Amino acid sequence: MGSTDSRASTEAPPTASQAMATSPAATTLREKLNTFGLGLFQRLCAGGNASADVVISPLSLSVCLSMVAAGAIEGSLTEKEMSAVLGAAALALPPGCPLEVANSAWLRGEIKADYVRSIEANFGADARTLPGVDPAPINAWVRERTKGRISSLFPAPLDPLTVMVLVNTVFFKGDWQEPFDPQKTRPASFRPFTGAPIPCEMMHQKDTHMLYIDSPFAKGVQLPYSSGGLLATILLPVKEGPEALEHLIATLSPQIWDAMLGKVKRQHVELHLPRFKVEFGAGLEEQLKALGMPTAFEGELPSGAFRRMTDDPLVHLSTVIHRATVEVNEAGTVASAATGAVMKTRCIPPPAVPIVVDRPFLFMITASDGALFFLAKAVSPTLSGIGATIS
């Protein structure tokens, strides 16, 4: 599903409004991925998590959970709920896309051979036997696929009732089409919501044709990567303070996101962006139930929901673990994500517009049509120890 391409594009990327002129099928897939990703992101950023960093990969979660859905009985309530939340099983990646996507299935119980063959064929899943409850083999697989960025997906032994673990990883290493000049990086301060300003290394880029976003909710830029048609989006709330960031996140529906993209324009911009890193990890069972797929976790008795996967009517989705990280510097971005689903039995000239990212912000990695692959909220990111090169 994933591919790599080191060839740098010599042409200016399309604006978001141009890129959004896609086929109806592609649009439907993008809309479903964005609806799912933004809905989950909003739930994770709400309440007690308002001042915490959050980063997810809607792509990783969608693919992993689609492997789960492939085991549900066609027409069952579980299959209908998961289909409504997730949509199609996979989003076609742009040609030359530098995203590396990998899937695996770790078998402990009696899983039907037809199901295993289907996820091998449709998802390229690597089916392996898991001899016990020690997740070390899974963690080693994830560590290898994410180039060491995610060292452990499951920190503790699995439940003895586990019959299968489905895992997806997404790894992205992208160079900027126009790299920041390290000689222009200067010591500066990042202003979190609480506490003293944090020292950081502030990168600088000035461009008369930068992709610029100006909406009632946020101002920001889009920065294209050198291959695959992918872009980074940095959004600053119009006002300062946690309430403004919370309002931006709560307002960012798929329709508002599309409206922002439709008004992207080329503008003289002076951008100041810190080197930063954000990390996140959590179990997502309650958020996924709230999005509209509770039955997968509860099971459908007495017939069972996952009979395309197993003859055991008690098998259900018990745990969904997601870990993700994004690191940005002068050269580009490295982002990685891993999702594990445990099945068990029960963008003379006019003056430059200043964009100074010295306070909490949103960061996204998207396809040129706006499909959301990574979503991050940086409130108190790691700002030290971020070098000027991507390794």
Q: Looking at the structure, do residues 52 and 132 belong to the same domain, yes or no?
A: yes
For residue 390, tell me if it sits in a domain: no
**How many C-beta atoms surround the C-beta of residue 60 within 10 A?**
26
Question: Residue with structure tokens 């912000």?
Answer: 361
Q: Looking at the structure, do residues 247 and 369 belong to the same domain, yes or no?
A: yes
Question: Could you tell me which of 185, 219, 137 has the C-alpha nearest to residue 328?
Answer: 185
Q: Looking at the structure, do residues 210 and 317 belong to the same domain, yes or no?
A: no
Q: Looking at the structure, do residues 166 and 189 belong to the same domain, yes or no?
A: no
Q: Which domain holds residue 74?
A: 24-173+278-345
Question: Could you tell me which of 320, 351, 334, 350 has the C-alpha nearest to residue 387?
Answer: 334
Residue 175 confidence (pLDDT) above 90:
yes
Question: Could you tell me which of 378, 65, 89 has the C-alpha nearest to residue 245?
Answer: 378
- The CATH number of residue 162's host domain is 3.30.497.10
**pTM as predicted:** 0.88
Dump pLDDT digits (tens) for 9-59.
333 444 433 333 344 455 577 888 999 999 999 999 987 666 789 999 999
CB 337 within 8 A of CB 60: yes
For residue 359, tell me if it sits in a domain: yes
For residue 15, tell me if it sits in a domain: no
Dump pLDDT digits (tens) for 187-246.
999 999 988 999 999 999 999 999 999 999 899 999 999 988 899 999 999 999 999 999
- The CATH number of residue 240's host domain is 2.30.39.10
Q: Looking at the structure, do residues 320 and 362 belong to the same domain, yes or no?
A: no
Q: Looking at the structure, do residues 210 and 315 belong to the same domain, yes or no?
A: no
DSSP classification of residue 49: G
For residue 7, tell me if it sits in a domain: no
Cβ burial of 103 (10 Å; 0-12, 13-18, 19+) is buried
Q: Looking at the structure, do residues 285 and 260 belong to the same domain, yes or no?
A: no
The three-point CA angle 187-204-275 to 5° equals 60
Q: Looking at the structure, do residues 336 and 238 belong to the same domain, yes or no?
A: no
Q: Looking at the structure, do residues 331 and 218 belong to the same domain, yes or no?
A: no
Give residue 8's pLDDT. Answer: 32
Q: Looking at the structure, do residues 299 and 206 belong to the same domain, yes or no?
A: no
Number of structural domains, the chain? 2
For residue 5, tell me if it sits in a domain: no
